[in-house]
Amino acid sequence: MAAKDARVAAGEAAILPDEDAALLAALRRGEESAFVSLIERYHAPLLRLAQIFVGSQAVAEDVVQETWLGVLQGLGRFEGRSSLKTWIFRILTNRAKTRGQREGRSIPFSALATPGDEAFEPAVEPERFLPADDPHWPHHWASLPQRWDELPEARLLAKETRAVIQQAVEQLTPSQREVITLRDIEGWTAPEVCEALEVSESNQRVLLHRARSKVRRVLEQYLAVAEDRDDGR
């Protein structure tokens, strides 16, 4: 057993960043401060992700508590094949999926999704482009996206605008919502998302592109109406 533990530790040291390796060692020693720092770092994003799968914040909080219990129980088996963060979030998504199904919410698990699993949908409305037989600019923009860098910063940061964005995210398919939540809200890198959700880079890219396009479309429509309102039109 000691030899096996030594081999596992050597493998972890070769893969885990120094910070993760030190934190993992402290967790295995049972240091309470290490577990507290882990909760402070990841509890809020875990809760946000859990809410994609379950019907209420109360149930999401239960899922997160189950996740932390799973982390404690699994520390001895963690082999360091991924970062601590992605390992913890993978536990969360598995438990949230199971709980969501138990609660009667048929949520497809994005880890099993591929770009072809979702019905084809254009990222941008086809009518925004010129037709193929246009004599000058076939397939080019007929209606350019609005330049948001020309809008007042206060408009983009307004509480009402943020609420529109949040509502648009909530209307996405679960797999799109997972990816955009981790990439654009939590600030994860593409490789981290692929590792945590066990999806391919191409799948992650397609889901993120579709999600961003949908959110942009909703925000663009809202800002156009708001601009007309401000101008008194």
What are the boundaries of each domain within the chain?
2-102, 115-230
What does the pLDDT look like over 38-54, one tens digit per residue?
Answer: 999 999 999 988 988 88
2-102 domain in CATH 3.30.300.30? no
| Model pLDDT, residue 79 | 84
At 89, the amino acid letter reads F
Residue 125 CB contacts under 8 Å (≥ 6 apart), including other chains: 217
Q: Which CATH architecture has domain 115-230?
A: Orthogonal Bundle (1.10)
Lowest mean pLDDT among 105-109, 154-158, 215-219: 105-109
pLDDT at residue 152, as a whole number: 53
Length, in residues, of the chain: 233
Tell which wins on pLDDT, 11 or 97: 97
Residue that is written with structure tokens 């963690």 in the block: 78
Cα within 13 Å of Cα(121), Cβ side: 15
Per-residue pLDDT at 145 exceeds 70:
no
